[in-house]
Amino acid sequence: MWHAIGQRWKWVRSRHRPGRIRLTGRQWGALVAFAATAVVVAVGLGVPHTASPVPAVSVERARASLARLRVIERRPAHDRDYHRDAFGPAWTDDVDVVGGGNSCDTRDDILARDIPGAVRIRTTACPEAVASGTLTSPYTGRSVAFRRGRGSAAVQIDHIVPLAYAWDMGAASWGGPRRRSFANDPANLAAVDAASNQSKSDAEPARWMPPLRAFHCQYAVQFVTVLAAYGLPVDAPSRDTLVNALKSC
């Protein structure tokens, strides 16, 4: 889906005797290049990548679906009774959607889909879980290193149509199985950088769109497709945002 090439870098520490060290022009050039690369790697970001073109047929389907969606004036006031558990256990494999029942939890399924070429290991949640790799976050176009364990929080799984938004727009009336399917449907999920996911929170398109403008088209296509598939309406301000995003395709 989104591709990235990972690189491993090693910091080498050494001790030198006190005194002045003279470097040649070539050595200075190498040192500057290494330092610049080290800074990029240290903050977990690489050179931005350009979003892949979206197939014209997908764009046309999304435009047609958006035109058919029920539109409400604004998103209702958030229901304070909403809680994440209403959509079932996080990343449960016990769902009737693509990937459900395959012996891997949903998080591992999405990591495997969105981090191609990753190193795999066996865990209690998945026999071929992603151990490490490099994600190109679709929301920023930048590379993020993933390593299972302490570093795993650098990559998070985002609900493109947020669960809280879905709840406010009608999912509160759904049965438990439908809500669990919605929360674990790969069509509504993407592995992204942590900062973008936290910045978005549960915001609808009128209040948040990916920082990478080149990804607005794909984001709009997926947002509309999920709303249509689950029979959810769209708020008028977000409808306008999505219309403009689809015009950019």
- pLDDT of 1: 43
Out of 30-39, 112-121, 131-140, pick the least confident. 30-39
Quick check: pTM over 0.85? Answer: no
pLDDT in tens, 47-95: 466 788 999 999 999 999 999 999 999 999 988 889 999 999 999 999 9
CA distance 115 to 122: 17
- pLDDT of 226: 98
Q: What are phi and psi of 50, to 5 degrees?
A: -90, 135
- 31-55 b/e (C-beta count within 10 Å ≥ 16 → b): eeeeeeeeeebeebbbeebebeebe
- pLDDT of 26: 45
pLDDT at 19 over 60: no
Query: CA angle, 92 as apex, 91 and 93 as ends, to 5°?
Result: 115
Q: What are phi and psi of 159, to 5 degrees?
A: -85, 110
CA distance 34 to 239: 46
Which of 152, 155, 156, 160 minimizes the C-alpha distance to 144?
Answer: 155
pLDDT in tens, 128-149: 999 999 999 999 999 999 999 9
pLDDT in tens, 198-246: 999 999 999 999 999 999 999 999 999 999 999 999 999 999 999 999 9
Residues in CB range of 100: below 8 A, 6 or more apart: 93, 94, 181, 184
Query: Is 100 in a helix, a strand, or coil?
Result: coil
- 231-247 b/e (C-beta count within 10 Å ≥ 16 → b): ebebbeebbebbeebbe
